[in-house]
Amino acid sequence: MANCVLAHNTMRQQGHVVTCITTVAQNFFAQEGTTVVSLPNEEHLTYSHRQDTDLLLEQFHGSVGKPIVVSGPGQEMCPRLPKIISGPLISAVRTPRQCNDFDKQDSYILWASGQVREQLERLKSCYNAWNARGQFLVVLETPGDLLQILEELRQWKILNVVVLTPSDSEQHTFDLYSWFPYRKPSSDCGKLRQAVLVDKCVANREYLLRNAALFSSEVPTDLGGCPISVSTFPLDPFVMLGSDKEEEMDETEVRYTEGLDIRLLHFMAKCLNASVKFVPPPIGVRNDANNTWGGVAGDVIGRRADIGMGATSYIYSIVRDLDFTVPYDVLEVVWAVPRAKARPRWGSITRVFHLPMWLLLMGVMVVAAGAMLCLSKYKAKYQQGRSEYTTLSGCLSSAWAAMLGVGVPVQPRSGPLRIIFIAWVIHSLAVSTVFQAFMTSFLVDPGLEKQIMNVEDLLTSGFHYGVHKIFFGYLFFLQIKQRDVMLPNTDICVKVEECAQKVADEGNYATILNSITAEYLNTYKTSDNNGVGKLYMLEEKLSTNFQVFILPRGSEFLGTFNRLVTVANEAGLVTHFWKEMLTTNKIKARSITEPVGDGYEVYTIIHLQSAFYLLLLGYCTAFCVFFAEIIHQKWRTRRRRQNKIRFLERRVRRCLRRRRVAW
């Protein structure tokens, strides 16, 4: 008789549990989506669990009307994947088709007994459907394991959870416990301190006693100075150490005081009234010893940091245990080549006209001189102008004087010669006006040499290439012909700045940078005395991505950080932070100049460099001609003297010969 009563009470207790679960599911679970019922492992799986599950499924199908998935021993939905899936391993791992066909799960019912680790790993194996931010209802047979279960769920970043356990004080009543992150007394800076009774379920009434909101995982807007742990490493211009050594780091902690990511992080921390704690800089990207992620991703996945940053982008999407904030900037990978150098000012004269035009002007001047020479000798009545215009050298000198805009020694006297001379003066005036206009422009701004504009120009330039190891893989995305040319001439740089500095200094070097780093370096480390950057980014992009912060999957901060990043973007704070950093760099480099509004510029010796070079060339030529004339004159004088001596010697011999004959 006692056994019958015990069995009857057990069945009633099971029915009450199912009733409370159904009540919570109907009133608080989302109406759409999939609900998962998870059973414990085989060691703790009892006959009552199976009966409760059967009864629950029966009531669910009749009242809830949504898809239900049962997960238990021997019912693993998907095989577990390795912790790192990248490179060739992606194609080697073949996941069953059904693993990709599951809908996103939004609610979970866990029948727990001491530990839920195995159940959570089984649920997480279906990675496309797993939702750590879903609504979790954990059913406990005894309240003794309440804090242990909540702590284990907290470590899995499952915060939207309610635990259903039998009440110690009331019969046929079940207590609903939960905890609230960053809210006292339930939590102390994100750490679980005690469970909070949020409501009671009276089984025979089929409703909750207080009808309070059960699921609320939102992080409060005021964290009360609680620390947010951050994993990053020094990487200009995203994360930078301060200039003051005392502020940089001490024996116990690391501090970063500047950088685009750091400024945005401090903005979010200020909005949340939180402090920032940096973990020691990670080493490496992955740990091959146990096939796990290292670096910033490893710190975030291992729960050593709440957030990771440092030029992080969606390239980390190959890591399945990460969540990403909304993007706040575009991260482009580009070729950085030397900026075209300024043309030398001494070449301004030759740049006014091309070589064919110079030859044409000289030919026209020779023709004009020939015409004047012919007219001066055509008829005897034109003898008046023969003094200066009867020789080719005289006509060329007059034509050249008119071209330079100076006076001729003797003006032409005859009518036809005057007509041709006036026509030549008009022609010279037009050419001189054009020449002076362009000459003045080139003296003020000599312009730049030919700039490398695309990859084809880069290939034909004969440059050497240097890239950092994080950018080396982008070379394999080039065309085969381009890759075959670049790979044999490519060096690996230890630091990104090392490659950029070689590009700026050597002038025959090219590298791969992200656009943000290149723009930053152009304002300080790779700028000239006038503040002009020495790096030029090609328009062809090797890759385009978006800069984000990375968080552990299921992080309670994701919604809050997304909201703050969106606010910062829409308010223009990200752009403001970036421009302020660039301005600060320009001040450090002392390269800020005030542009002149009217474009007026005073001529200096530098501007007239080509004129002085031409004057020096003229002096050198005149000296050489003068020296040649002296040598020629001496040679002629000596030759005349020798000829005269020979003539006198011949006369003397002739006289002596005649006298001998006379004798």
One domain, residues 24 and 45: yes
Please give the average per-residue pLDDT across 174-188, as a whole number: 82
- Please calculate the CA angle 52-205-173 and round it to the nearest 5 degrees: 60
pLDDT computed for residue 599 by the predictor: 57
The last residue of a domain, from among 594, 617, 637: 594
In a domain, 250, yes or no: yes
Concatenated DSSP letters of 154-188: HHTT--SEEEEEE-SSSTTEEEEEE--TT-TTTEE
Average pLDDT of the segment spanning 200-221: 77
In the structure, what pLDDT confidence band is assigned to residue 181 with cuts at 50, 70 and 90?
A: confident
> Quick check: 225 and 241 in contact, CB under 8 A?
no
How many domains, the chain?
Answer: 4
Same domain? 29 vs 142: yes
Residues 6+ apart with CB under 8 A from 72: 38, 39, 40, 45
- Assess if residue 333 is contained within a domain: no
Residues 617-631 have pLDDT tens digits of 888 988 998 899 899
SS3 239: strand
- Model confidence at 82, pLDDT cuts 50, 70, 90, reads very low
Summarised one tens digit per residue, pLDDT across range 4-34 is 333 444 445 556 788 888 888 888 888 777 8
The verdict on 580 and 614 lying in the same domain is: no
For residue 526, tell me if it sits in a domain.
no
Helices and strands (H and E) in the chain: how many: 21, 22
Q: What is residue 564's predicted lDDT score, i.e. its pLDDT?
A: 93
Residue pair 402/424 in contact by the 8 Å Cβ criterion: yes
Do 193 and 241 fall into the same domain?
A: no
Residue 453 inside a domain? The answer is no
Q: Which pLDDT score is estimated for 387? A: 60
Q: Does residue 573 belong to any structural domain of this protein? A: yes
Same-domain pairing of 174 and 85: yes
Domain range enclosing 370: 348-444
d(CA 503, CA 535): 7
Q: Are residues 105 and 223 in the same domain?
A: no
> How do residues 447-494 score in pLDDT, each as one tens digit?
777 888 888 888 888 788 888 888 888 888 788 878 777 888 788 888
* Cα gap 35→29, rounded to integer Å: 9
Q: What is the mean pLDDT of residues 94-106?
A: 56
- Supply the pLDDT for residue 147: 85
Q: Which residues contact 100 (CB under 8 A, 6 or more apart)?
A: 128
What pairs with residue 492 in β-bridges?
467
Would you state the structure tokens that stand for residue 637, as one six-digit string? 């004088």
| pLDDT at residue 87 greater than cutoff 70 | no
Domain finish residue from 187, 208, 229: 208
pLDDT-derived band of residue 578, with 50, 70 and 90 as boundaries? very high
Q: What pLDDT, on the 0 to 100 scale, is given for residue 90?
A: 34
Q: What is the mean pLDDT of residues 138-160?
A: 84
Among 328, 300, 301, which residue's Cα sits nearest to residue 314? 328
Q: Are the beta carbons of 297 and 303 closer than 8 angstroms?
A: no
Start-end of H helices in 390-489: 392-404, 415-444, 455-460, 480-486
Q: Does 207 or 354 have the greater pLDDT score?
A: 354
CATH number of the domain enclosing 564: 3.40.190.10
CB proximity list for 323: less than 8 A, separation 6 or greater: 550, 551, 552, 553, 554, 555, 558
Which residues partner with 188 through β-bridges?
191
Give yes or no: residues 283 and 386 share one domain: no
Listed ranges 183-187, 215-219, 312-316, 477-481; the one with the highest mean pLDDT: 312-316
State whether 185 and 204 are in the same domain: yes
Task: Report residue 65's pLDDT band, with 50, 70 and 90 as the boundaries.
Answer: low
Same domain for 276 and 175: no
pLDDT at 289 (0 to 100)? 47
**Single-letter code of the amino acid located at 576:** H
**Residue 538 placed within a domain:** no
Whether residue 86 is found in the same domain as residue 204: yes
Using the predicted structure, report yes or no on whether residue 88 has a pLDDT greater than 60. Answer: no
403-451 pLDDT, tens digit each: 888 888 878 777 788 888 888 889 888 888 888 888 777 777 777 778 8
Domain membership of residue 503 (yes or no) is: no
| Whether residue 53 sits in one domain with residue 29 | yes
Tokens 């994993």 map to which residue? 231
- Asked if the structure places residue 455 within a domain, the reply is no
Q: How confident is the model at residue 548 (pLDDT cuts 50, 70, 90)?
A: very high
Q: Regarding predicted confidence, which is higher, 9 or 367?
A: 367
Taking only the tens place, the pLDDT of each residue in 371-413 is 888 877 765 454 554 467 777 788 888 888 888 888 888 787 7
pLDDT bucket at 246, cuts 50 / 70 / 90: very low
Q: Pick the closest to residue 41 from 131, 111, 125, 132 (CA basis).
A: 111
Q: Does 81 have pLDDT greater than 60?
A: no
Q: Cα separation of 234 and 495, whole Å?
A: 12
pLDDT computed for residue 454 by the predictor: 83
Q: Are residues 434 and 414 in the same domain?
A: yes
Q: How confident is the model at residue 222 (pLDDT cuts 50, 70, 90)?
A: confident
Q: What percent of the chain has pLDDT above 70?
A: 81
Domain boundary, last residue among 425, 444, 463 = 444
Per-position DSSP letters for 305-319, written without gaps between them: -SEE-SS-BGGGGG-
